[in-house]
Structure formats: structure tokens, C-alpha cells
Structure 1
Amino acid sequence: MTQSAAPELYYLEYYEEFLAKVRQLSRMIQGDGWNPEFVIGVGRGGLVPAVYISHQLGLPMLSIDHSSRVPGFADELLEKVATMSAAGNRLLFVDDINDSGSTIEYIRQLLEGSGGARGNLRFAVLINNTASRSSVDYHTDSIDRAEDKRWFVFPWESVSARDVLLDEAQAVPDRLT
């Protein structure tokens, strides 16, 4: 891709497929014997799948708005969540995609730095980039970002203006080049 080429926006407008993916993730979680006590939606992209998964699993949901980038806001909530995991609560973090791994890495480091118990933390995503610097415990689809340069537009993002989506995609050019 050249510097001036616009990224390929790949719209995932699939309600039935989305529900199938939520059910698949839920079965994976239930099937491995690790039973979370809370589902934590990672804002913004993980909130919608987290709501569905919390209903599917019959678990309460909390949210962490990491994407807002309001200084200290998500960090304070993550510190509270770390205390919950240290007290023995198993927490399932849900996001839409593990792309570069920076969100998951940031959350893990903050949780562990705040005393969180690593064994009580797991991560689930719909799409996992196998080349990501962070791993996840559960996912339905895999891509290799080294080869797949599409910018995934999830159903809850599809109402955004095309210019906004292109700006978001180009904000992290390493994922697309």
C-alpha cells in the first residue's frame, strides 16, 4: 500500500454471524472449565460483544473505557478491577479485535502492576491478529496482519461517516502497511 492509498474498509455487517461468533466464544469459555465471575467490556469496540457474552453466560458485566484516552479515567477503573482479581474474582475481558496488541498489553501491565492476579484474567476477541504482540485466550477468527490489511468495520461502527473510519484506520499506519 502506498502512503496515499486509502485503506480498504471491510464492513462486517452480519447480525446472524455476529450472534454465531458470540455463541462460539461463550461455548469456548464454558468448555474449558475456567468460569469467569464478571465480563469486562473494553470500550469502545468490546462493549457490544461483551454485553452479548454477559447475557449468553448469565454473568454481570463491567466496562472499562480505554478508548476515551481521558487521562487516569480507565486507569482508576482498572486498578479497582485489579483489586477484584487479587481477591479471587475471575475476570473475562472482551474486545472486538486484538490487532496490534497494544490495548491488551496496556491492560495486562496495569492490572499486574496494580496487584492483579494473572491467573484470574482472561481475554476474548472476535478477531485475533496472529502477529499481535499480545495473545488472547479465546477468539473466533484469526488474521495475519502482515498479509491482511483490511480495516475491519464492525456493525456498531458502521454508522460512522466514511471519513471518520478512514481517519481511524490511518491513525495507526503500521497495521495497514
Structure 2
Amino acid sequence: MSNDAPQLHYITSEDFVADVRLVGQKIAADTWKPDFVVGVGRGGLVPAVYISHQLALPMLSVDHSSKVEEFADELLRKVAVKSAAGERLLFVDDINDTGGTITYIRELLAESGCKEDNLRFAVVLNNQRSKTAVDYWANMIDRAEDKRWFVFPWEAMGKGTAIVEEALSVPERLA
């Protein structure tokens, strides 16, 4: 393996399910209770489905990764209105790595009238050095030391070259 090739770490389906179950237990134990689970596409959709079933809550989804306005920002504005009306929203993603996605979502929601008290974020994997905090997670990593590229079970369905290409598209995570 060359020095510039990412170190891929495949998360097993069994480990993923155990981690999501742990996140759901942490949410259930909190006094704050969500009205909706909101899956952040693509990576957060699978854990959001599991959590919505575990907590017996309805699920909404936004496809942030598509960068297509009517499936991303427009839907975020619509869920912000739900928050402003008193609905509590639990956003779920697979990983809080740099914090870019969560920061973007928080800012857009705030601009659209979202009430911060009605908002929480959950992830399976949380980087302690992320520029933004989340409320619930299963595992904590330190990107200063842990340079692995985490491959979730659904991502493993893709071609190996696509996984490596995606990992290399964000070199600052791996350096």
C-alpha cells in the first residue's frame, strides 16, 4: 500500500447495527424527545431508518449530498418551519468528521426560523476535533491520530475504486 493510498476501514453490518442501537438508547434515555427523525442523505439515511424504527418515530429525509436544491435546501427550509411550530427534530448522519455538513444544516435551519432548542444531531461516528458538536454518537475518534477512511456497509456495495476516489477527494481528513 503506498503512502498516499487511504487506509480503508470496513465497518461490518453487525458493528453498525450495534452502534446504531447504542445511539438510539442514548436518545431514548435523554429527557429531550424528538417528534421526527430526519435522515441526512446519503450517509445518514440508513442509520436514520434504524433509529426511527427503534424509537417508533416518523422519519423525514433530506438529500444534502445531492446538492440539488429541491431535495436539499428546500426540504431543510420546510423542516425548519416544523421546528418553528414546536416540532422537535433529530437529524441523523453517519459521521461527524469535519463538521461541514452539520454546520451547513444548522446555519440554513437558523436562517429559516428553526428553534435551536427543537434541534439535535446524532451520528454513528464522531470526530472529537470536528468544528461542530453533536448530541449523540456511538463512537468517538480523533482525526489528529486516526486517519482511516471509514466504509459503512452500504458504501461497501460500491466499487473499490469509487471508495478510494471518494476518500482521496477530501485529503485533509487523511493527512
Query: Normalised by the shorter chain, which TM-score bucket?
Result: over 0.9
Is 1:32 aligned to 2:30, yes or no? yes
Which residue type is aligned with residue 7 of structure 1? P
Query: AA paired with 2:146?
Result: D
1:148 alignment partner AA: D
Residue in 1 that maps onto 2:4: 5
Alpha-carbon distance between aligned partners in 1 of 2:65 and 2:38, rounded to the nearest angstrom: 14
Identity %: 62
- 1:66-81 matched pairs, under 5 angstroms: 66-71=64-69, 73-81=71-79
Give per-residue Cα distances to partners, 1:115-160, cap 9 Å, x unaligned: 1000100000000000000100000100001110000000010011
Alignment of 1:77-156 (within 5 A): 77-156=75-154
Counterpart Cα distance in 2 of 1:17 and 1:149: 19
1:72 Cα deviation after fit: 5.2
Is the Cα contact below 8 Å between 2:16 and 2:152 reproduced in 1?
Answer: no
In 1, Cα distance between equivalents of 2:68 and 2:80? 19
TM-score, normalisation: structure 2: 0.96
2-side partners of 1:107 and 1:6: how far apart?
31
Distance 1:7 1:42 in 2: 25
Structure 2: tracts of 5 or more residues without a match: none
Structure 1 partner of 2:44:
46
User: Structure 1: which 5+ residue stretches go unaligned?
Assistant: none
CA distance in 2, matches of 1:168, 1:19: 24
- Which secondary structure does the structure 2 equivalent of 1:155 belong to? coil
C-alpha distance in 1 between matches for 2:145 and 2:14: 27
Deviant stretches of 4+, over 4 Å: none
